[in-house]
Structure formats: C-alpha cells, structure tokens
Amino acid sequence: MNILILGYGKMGKIIGEIAESRGHSLAAKINIDNRHELDGLDASTIDVAIEFSQPEAAVENISWAMERGIPVVSGTTGWLSRKTEIEKLTADQNGAFFYASNYSIGVNIFFKVNEFLAKLMNETSGYRASLEEIHHTEKKDAPSGTAITLAEGILRNTDKLSEWYLVGQSAENEQSLPIIAKRIDPAPGTHIIRYSSEIDEIEITHTAHSRQGFALGAVLVAEWIQGRKGVLSMDDFLSF
C-alpha cells in the first residue's frame, strides 16, 4: 500500500516505521509545517490515509482525504463533536472512514471487560464507580478519547448513572461518573476503572508500556479497510 500519514508527530513516526517494516510505502508525511504539500500530491496513487494529528486539524485533514476518494483511518481524539459531519461526508462520497479512540487490541479487549463488569455492578448496591486516566503532558485533550469510550461503555450498561464529568470542571452528583485526568511524563496511557464501597474496592486497569500497540493496530486497520465502504469501527474490524 501507499500510505499518507496526516499528523507526523510521535505516533505518526512510529506508524510510518511499522508500515514500512510491513512492506508499505509512504506517500507523504504531513504535519503543521508542511501541510501545503498536500495539494501537490497525486491522490490517485494513495491507498489510505492514517490520521493522527491534532483536534483542531482533524476535520480538515479527514475531509481533504475523503473528498479525493482516499479511505481514512483516524485516531485523533478531542474533535468528536463534529463526527456527524464526517459521517455525512463519508456517505456523500461513498467512502470509507474508520475511527477508534484507541487502536490497541489489548485496549479493545479491555473495553469489553469494562462493559461486562458494568453489567454485573449494575445489579449490586453500595458501590460508587469512578474512572482515572493518566497520559503524557503533551496530550492536549482531557479526558482521553479512550476514557470517554470507557465511560460510555459504563453508562450503556447501568441505570444508576446518566452522564460522565471531568473532575475539576463540573460539580459532583450521584448520577454522574467522575473521570480524573492526570498528565504525567512519560506515561503513554493508563486507564483505571474503580468500584468503591465501604467494605472493599474492585479495580481493573489497562497500562500501555509504549505506543507500539496503538501504531500497529492502526496499520492493521489500514490494511483491512481496503475495498470496504462506510463508517467503520473496531467492532467491525474485530468481528472478522
């Protein structure tokens, strides 16, 4: 495949290395400093765009590729209030758009464990749920996209909570799930789900040791998306 990387920061560089190690070529490596080079690319030679940029650039980057018939694999978080725009564009262009808040296979297993535990705890009284995420200081959005996915998984499987909130930005109430966001170097990503009571505490944790798992997952999805259409997710990928 010939891959366009949109967002050539730490993650983009690892994605590029893994892609090349798997026999793929890089059409271009775009970041904020050379974005003007996009218009000089021959879109017909690009098989897929892998987009790991910044929240403020994501929609423009994804739209550029979609409008030129290039499938997009996106992992940028912090822009999802505009996701419906991209979903409409995907339909209008009969394109392929894949989004995941986290491309690690281990994290996606963790998502399933989280939902299963939430179902069990919904039938149990006396426990208060909370979520904590820890990332490196360069991560701009908080809470993380992975934390939001985890929170949504809990909310779908309980009738005790109706929303989540970021601790320090909103007032606590019994119907809200608190998310604590910490920024500590060099942590690539830790997510902790806790259910606390007066007598004990239940905790599940996923800790990433490096960005390799995220990057490999994105390249595997880029390989998989070839020939597919529509708005796709990790559920689609993992079902095959």
State pLDDT tens for residues 81-102: 999 999 999 999 999 999 998 9
Smallest CA-to-CA distance from 146 within 156, 133, 137, 136 is with 133
Whether 229 is catalytic is no
56-73 confidence digits (pLDDT tens):
999 999 999 999 999 999
Mean pLDDT in each 10-residue stretch from start to end of the chain (240 residues)?
96 96 97 93 97 95 97 94 97 98 91 97 96 92 92 97 91 89 92 97 95 93 98 88
| Burial class, 130, CB count within 10 angstroms (exposed 0-12 / middle 13-18 / buried 19+) | middle
pLDDT score of 68? 97
Catalytic residue among 135, 136, 209, 229: 135
The reported pTM is 0.82
Average model confidence (pLDDT) across the chain: 94
Catalytic residue among 10, 29, 88, 139: 139
CA distance 76 to 78: 7
pLDDT score of 240? 52
Task: Look up residue 164 and give its DSSP letter.
Answer: E
Is the Cβ–Cβ distance between 154 and 195 less than 8 Å? no
* Location of structure tokens 């993380």: 144
Whether 36 is catalytic is no
pLDDT score of 167? 94
Q: What angle do CA 21, 25, 31 make, to 5 degrees?
A: 100
Which residue segments constitute the domains of the chain, with CATH numbers given? 2-103+212-238 (3.40.50.720), 105-207 (3.30.360.10)
Give the dihedral sign, CA 70/98/140/164.
positive
